Each structure stands twice: as C-alpha cells, then as structure tokens.
Amino acid sequence: MKNKKRILVVAPHPDDETLGVGGAIAKYSKEGHEVFVMIVCGHLPPIYDSKDYEKTVKESKKAFDIMGVSSSKFLEIPATTIGSIPVHKLNSEILMVINDFKPDIVFCPFPDRHIDHRLVFESVMVATRPIGIGRNINILAAYETLSETHWNAPHIEPNFTPNWVIDISDHMETKLDALRSYKSQISDFPGPRSIESVDALAKFRGTQAGFAYGEAMHIIRMVS
C-alpha cells in the first residue's frame, strides 16, 4: 500500500500492549500498516514459575493474531528485576529493534506506578533520540495502562495528560477479544483489568474527543 507505516509498540509485559494500544494495533493493521510488538519483561523466575511465563507468551501470541500484529520479539527479562540489568544493555536491545525495524511511529508505556514501566520508558527515550535512525521516527507517544497509570500520586508523580486520542470505535471489539486471550491476567469487574473497566476507559477517552471509543496517548515528540 502507498504510505505504509511501520509501528513499533514497546510493552513492559504481555497484555500491556493490548491494554494500552490494542485498538490502535487492530486499526493500523487493518489499514495495511506493519505493527511490531516488543515485550520486554515476563513472568519468569526467580519471582514466578517458568510455566507462568509460557502461559502468558501463549496468550499474547493469540492476542497478537487477533489484533493483526505483523511480528514480535520477547526480551525475556524477569518482571520487576529490570533494574538489575545494566542500563546500556536494555537501551541497546531496544535500539537494535529500532535500527532493524525502522519505525515511523513508536508507542511506549507512560512512566507510571510500575517500576518496569518507568525503566522501559527511560530506555525508549534514549533509543529513540532524534539521531541516526531515530530521525525517521515521526511520532513518539506514551500510552496509559489500566491498573498502573491511574495509580500515580497526583502532582507528586507525573500525571497522564493525553494530547492525542485515537479513534478505535470500529476496533473496540477486536481489542476486547484480544484482551480475553489473557485469561491469566484479566480480572472480574470491578478489577482494573476487567473487560468492563477497559471498555469504560475507552468510552471515556473516546467521548473526550467526540467519538464512541478511543485510546489516549501523550505525544512526546512529533515531526512532519
């Protein structure tokens, strides 16, 4: 297709990509664009059993298929231990994907309550600097993640204040179907990662911008 875009989604854990940009992934892929999802951490030993990780990877691949993800990569860093990895190593892992994939748009997690989200955000900021291949990135934006982003302490920590809402009205059911793949991660209502909560947030973000369902982003850098 003409003007085909390459979209990179950097997710700290399996399911963050669906919670944050599942509708956008489905929308972009449906329009013929190429979407690459990189999962940085996972439910791995020593905190989790390796079987937990295998389950979430299986769930994520099912979700990827539903949303139309073109390709993916799992860095396999144990969840909550990312701080013990040398900063340059994590930066280089993300930069390697950027150099190979050459994205036009990069979505990363907002630096919220979860330490993994904050550290991944910082590494993405380094890897996407507007030098070298980074100069070709047209949009760098942070997404919100239910159960983490809205638990930041207001005014003490960064507040998520969206300045871009993507219309996912035609792709909301695809997002929810993908989220249902994560049987080990979603919770019953009123859990923050319940289907009802995700639906409610998308309605709220959508109506903020004048349409039925939306996903909110904070644009960090945009060039044209």
d(CA 209, CA 113): 26
Res 80: pLDDT: 87
What are the tens digits of pLDDT across the range 17-31? 999 999 999 999 999
The answer to whether the beta carbons of residues 176 and 199 sit under 8 Å apart is yes
Average pLDDT over residues 60-73: 98
Average pLDDT over residues 131-154: 94
Of 171, 193, 178, nearest to 61 by C-alpha is 178
Within 8 A by CB and 6+ apart from 196, the residues are: 189, 190
Which residue's structure tokens are 């003007």?
A: 3
Residue 70 has which token pair? 């073109």
Res 159: pLDDT: 93
The model's pTM: 0.96
Average pLDDT over residues 130-138: 94
CB atoms within 10 A of CB 8: 24
Res 1: pLDDT: 64
Res 45: pLDDT: 86
Residue 15 has which token pair? 């399911």
